Structure 1
Amino acid sequence: MNSIPAEIIASSSPFRFLVGPNQREFIIYSALFAHQSPVFEKLVNGNFSESTEKCVQWKSVDEDTFICFWQYTHTGRYTAASPVIGLKSESEATCEPPPPSPPSPTFAAFFGTTAAKKDETPPKELTKREIQWNEFRKQRASVNFGAFRSTGGLFGSRVRSNYAHEDYTNHFLLHARIYVFAECYGITGLMDLSLNELHGTLVRFTLYKERINDVVALIRYCYENLVPEPLREVVALYSACKLEKLWLSEEFHALVEAYGELSKTLFGLIVNVL
């Protein structure tokens, strides 16, 4: 995001936002708001009632998403939702969490396993399933974020993995909603940032049995709503890589049964690794 001279921002008019069903009021300077996308530039400077009133009503935008957008307009980054802390299991009470997950194992029900011999000196040949996981891990690695910095979210500033008692449902969903919001208004930098943050979180997320439905909630959001295809692609490929664990969830079964597009996508990704 190119910088704007401070005097231009400071001398521009405040632009008011009435956000969510409760119409909570927020303010961003007009020049800063208009700079985020061509859509917003027209909204601020065009021949619309909002342009004249310097006010827009965004009833369908939730407050958390808007606050992240507000942060992004001022800093080029945003802070994602913190986990909801639940009760620790007995094993967690005495143990540190494991390191980030290694490549997902082969989904035995479909693919079998490839075991390395102990006396082998060359590296073990990766299974097709592990190759698929590596492809997912590298999926967003080529994105050039320029001046964008890490949001310091789940793994931006912490080296440890997540705990099983930490609910990341809202964390996943916020990244997804921000991406949908950014795509709707053509905020390309925020689109890249939010999708990269979601992808990075999924790569490093330890998918405990207790946390499976956190991911299922994200999948549900992507198939119950009209969301941009790049978001669905990230979530679908992750789901295929973690299918063995996700299949433990009855809620996931219901999603696969209810949404033919999800079933078709997962089946196609499964066939690719046969």
Structure 2
Amino acid sequence: MHAELVARMSKPLDTLINGKWVENEKGLVEWSEIDEGTFARFCEFAYTGDYQAAAPVRVAPPTPLSTENVDQIAIKQINESWLLYNKRMKTKTVTYDYSEVFLSHARLYAFADYYSIEDLMELSIRKLDEQMGCFNLHNGGRVTDVVQLIDFSYKNTRSDSVKQDRLRNTLSIYIARHIKELWPNTDFQGILESGGVAKDVIEKLGGV
């Protein structure tokens, strides 16, 4: 990337580029904490003002369990539940995993937040909010996609006593609106054990 372009994006980046980069004999800055996808999206944003999120991954729909070496009564109960699940789903087949789609936005937001790149923070939040607004939880079948996003976001952002982090705010509003579908998932319940998540959601539930 062009150093001057990066330096103009924020004061922290200007300090990074004109400090560490200048001091480095090779004229390089190591960003070991940034994954390749996030860096590529940052570069795309720097040159175009926009970026492409990760693509959803096609996955197989749930299937009945094998009866081999498994208690027959348990198998019968599980497979009956599976048939009921498919009946409820009707034509809505859970065929795409959106975990990386959501995480690509969140990782870019966390990077932008760390370096105070306001335009990129706003863009990543807007894109994430739009995609989550269209996301189908499939009666709880794809809750884990959202759980991974929540877990990453709360581990990599912070809210202060004056203002809530924008990513946390977006997620807590989403959780409050979809709490009935999210709650039965045990992974989601585990996430709520985090004081930060539970506190933010409780505050939002009053306004839903």
- TM bucket, shorter chain: 0.7 to 0.9
**Among residues 13, 24, 31, which one is paired with 1:58 in the alignment?**
31
Alpha-carbon contact 1:240-1:266 (below 8 Å) kept = yes
Q: How many residues align?
A: 175
Q: Report deviation, 1:203.
A: 1.1
Aligned equivalent of 1:264: 199
Tell me which amino acid in the other structure corresponds to 1:268: E
Give distance in 2, aligned partners of 1:34 and 1:196.
Answer: 24
3-state DSSP class of the match of 1:61? coil
**Residue of structure 2 aligned with 1:220, choices 151, 162, 177:** 151
Q: Secondary structure at the match of 1:191?
A: helix
> Distance in 1 between the 2:126 and 2:109 partners?
10
Shift of 1:227: 4.1
Distance 2:157 2:9 in 1: 23
Q: What does residue 141 of structure 2 align with?
A: 210
**Higher percent of residues as strand:** 1
Listed one character per residue, the Cα deviations across residues 101-142 of structure 1 (whole Å, up to 9, x for unaligned) are xxxxxxxxxxxxxxxxxxxxxxxxxxxxxxxxxxxxxxxxxx
| Counterpart amino acid of residue 254 in structure 1 | G
Q: CA RMSD in A?
A: 2.1
Distance 1:227 1:168 in 2: 24
1:149 aligned residue: none
Please give the alpha-carbon distance, in whole angstroms, between the structure 1 residues aligned to 2:45 and 2:151: 26
Cα displacement (A) at 1:58: 0.8
Q: 1:49 to 1:81 in 2, by over 3 A?
A: closer
Q: TM-score, normalised by structure 1?
A: 0.59
Corresponding position: 1:29 with 2:2: yes
Show structure 1 runs of 5+ residues with no match.
1-27, 98-162
- Where 2:141 maps in the other structure, the secondary structure is helix
Gap regions ≥5 residues in structure 2:
63-85, 160-164
* Residue 39 of structure 1 pairs with residue 12 of structure 2: yes
Alignment of 1:63-74 (within 5 A): 63-74=36-47
- Aligned partner of 1:212: which letter? V
The answer to which structure has the higher helix fraction is: 2
Give the whole-Å Cα distance in 2 for the aligned partners of 1:190 and 1:166: 27
Instruction: Report the counterpart of residue 194 of structure 1 in structure 2.
Output: 124
Structure 1, residues 7-49: CA drift from partner, whole Å, max 9, x if none? xxxxxxxxxxxxxxxxxxxxx012222222222223333xx34
